[in-house]
Structure formats: structure tokens, C-alpha cells
Amino acid sequence: MLRTMKWGIDKYFYYPKRDRQVLLVLITLAAMTLLVIYFAGDPSDIKAADGAGTTAAADSMASKAGQPAESLTAREVHLEPFDPNTADTAQLLRLGLAKWQVANIVKYRSRGGVYTSKEDFAQLYRLTVKQFRQLEPYIRIAPEFRPASTLYARNRHTTPYPTSALKAERDSFHRAYVKQEKLNAGETVDLNALDTTVYKKVPGIGSYYSRKIVEYGRRLGGYVSTDQLDEIDHFPTETKVYFDVKPTAIALIRINHYPLDELRHHPYINYMQARAIIEYRREHGRIDDLSVLRLLDEFRESDLQRLQPYVSYD
């Protein structure tokens, strides 16, 4: 064996010089190839790939669960005192709330919603018990957002209880006031008054429904019938006998000129119907009578009948 190895070494050294140079170049290239393969397989790259795969899997799980992916990924949470009525978007996100939860808070406040207590904030959609208990110590409701009734509750024990004479006088005044404000049988108020004070005179109508009557009347452009009160959710129909409709100027829809957004703003025209009107005007020109819309699938006869008093063809 030693003779064989010696023969091989001797054979190498007896190679021509040019062949030895080629052999050295091949050995060098092989060594460089091994180094490239070694460094290309850096474990850190594998870990990074695994991390990306985990994130992608989390996003997939979130989409299948029907909730945003950010709720499944860890975000740095910075707890600090906040008022849910005034906190801005950045602060709410720092508290660990999801973007869609913050959007719900902003939407709720833009519609006039107010958080009067911590319990109100606990009603936030998909807020877990763990999240609420974490945030509860930091919730600060400013005094101006608390119910006004708390002012009387705070002074209840400091105000002397009235004597029997004063109490009787107060009760008498209260009965006279109620009798004076509420309508008697046969009396009516104008439905187009659009005044909450007027509507509160109707027995069975308080602040909530008086406000709803005003809001719906403004959206309609005015009432043409007391039966339109039935279009208000859960309206007490027994109170309709106290309303009448006096002649008044109705805000009309210029059906040949209004763009899509203005058409769909009216309660009697939905988005699909507004688009159908725009398309009819584009293809056929002016609309001189609502009867031409009977040919469209978007309109029923009842839709056209209730819309008729509100249409102008100028």
C-alpha cells in the first residue's frame, strides 16, 4: 500500500507543469463551491423563512375566522389613562385595540354616541373580558359626559325635604302643567310643524319619538299623510289620531336633474332605483311621468305611488 501511495505521489510530481496548474485550478474551484454552499445555507435564513411562514399562517387563520389578522399578531401595548369620548385613533391603537374596534368607536361617536360609564365601554364589539379588565383602571370619563341625572343624585342628600304644604303645592303645579301640555281627545297638532316641543303635547309621545318625527320629516321633505308615521320603527300607532297634515310646501325631487347621491338621499329611493333613474335619463332623455318607470325591474307600483307627491319634472 505504501508503495502504491508513493507511486501516486511520484506520478503527480511527474505530471507536466501545465497539467499540474489545471489540477490546482480545479481544486480551488471545488473549495470555493463548498464555501458558497456552506454560507448559502445560513440557519438565520431558515429561521426568517419559518417566521414568514408563521405570519402567513396566522393571517390565513384570521381570515378564516372572520376577524382582522392584526388581532392574532402581537402588538406592543402602552396602557395610559384615556377617555373613550375624546381619545384619538393613535391613542386607542396604543392601548391594544384592533383597528376595526377603533373604527367602531369613531363611528359611534360621530353618530352622537357617548360613553357615560365604564360599563358603556364594555359593550364595545368583541372586547374580551381580559381586555376590559386590563383597560378598566385607565378609563376616565370626563364629568361633562356623565348623565345629567347624577347632578340631582349628588344633591339629593343635601337638599332639605319639602314640608307637606310645599309638596302639595308642587304636586298641584305638576298636575296643572301636565294637563296644560298634553292634548285632549279631539285635539291635533300639525305633523309638518317639525318641532319636538309641539309633538310632546301628544299623549304617548316623548323626547325619543318627537325627535324621530322631526328627523324623518326632514328626510322626506315634509309629510303628506299621517300614515307615513307608520314608517318610523315601532311608532305607537294609537297616537296618530292626534296628528293632522296642513298644506305646506314640500321639498320636491328634481328627477331630471338630481345626481345619483341626491336621488338616493330620499327615503323612498334606494341606491338601485337611483341608478336606474340615471340610466333611464341617459338612454331615453327626460322623464315627464313616473309611469315610464313601471317598465324598470327596480320599481313596484307601490314605490311609484308613494314617490309621486315628491317629484318635480322641471
Cα dist from 10 to 1, 14, 16, 247, whole Å = 14, 6, 12, 124
pLDDT at 32: 82
Q: CA-CA distance, 223 to 39, in Å (whole number)?
A: 80
How confident is the model at residue 148, as a pLDDT? 73
CB 265 within 8 A of CB 278: no
pLDDT score of 152? 60
C-beta of residue 264 within 8 angstroms of C-beta of residue 271:
yes
CA dist 265 and 93 (Å) reads 34
Whole-model pTM: value is: 0.44
Each residue's pLDDT expressed in tens, for the chain with a length of 314 residues: 445 444 454 554 455 556 667 777 788 888 888 876 766 554 444 343 444 444 444 444 444 444 444 443 456 888 889 999 999 999 999 999 999 999 999 999 988 889 998 989 999 988 999 899 999 999 998 888 877 766 664 444 444 445 555 555 555 545 544 444 789 989 999 999 989 999 999 999 999 999 999 999 999 999 999 999 999 999 999 999 999 998 888 999 999 999 999 999 999 999 999 999 999 999 999 999 999 999 899 999 999 999 999 999 99
Q: Give the separation between CA 206 and CA 236, rounded to whole angstroms.
A: 11
Sign of the torsion angle spanned by Cα atoms 25, 31, 36, 37: positive
CA distance 95 to 267: 40
Report pLDDT for 228: 95
Cell matching residue 206: 316623548
pLDDT for residue 71: 42
Q: What per-residue confidence (pLDDT) applies to 251?
A: 93
CA dist., res. 91 & res. 114, Å (int): 18
Query: Cβ neighbours of residue 309 under 8 Å, at least 6 residues apart?
Result: 224, 250
Is the CB of residue 86 less than 8 Å from the CB of residue 115?
no
255: Cβ contacts below 8 Å, ≥ 6 apart: 263, 277, 287, 311, 312, 313
CA dihedral 242, 244, 250, 252 (to 10 degrees): 80
In the prediction, which pLDDT does 125 show?
Answer: 87
Distance of CA 35 to the CA centre of its chain: 58
pLDDT of residue 49: 40
Cell of 135: 383597560
Instruction: Give the whole-angstrom CA distance, residue 7 versus residue 1.
Output: 10
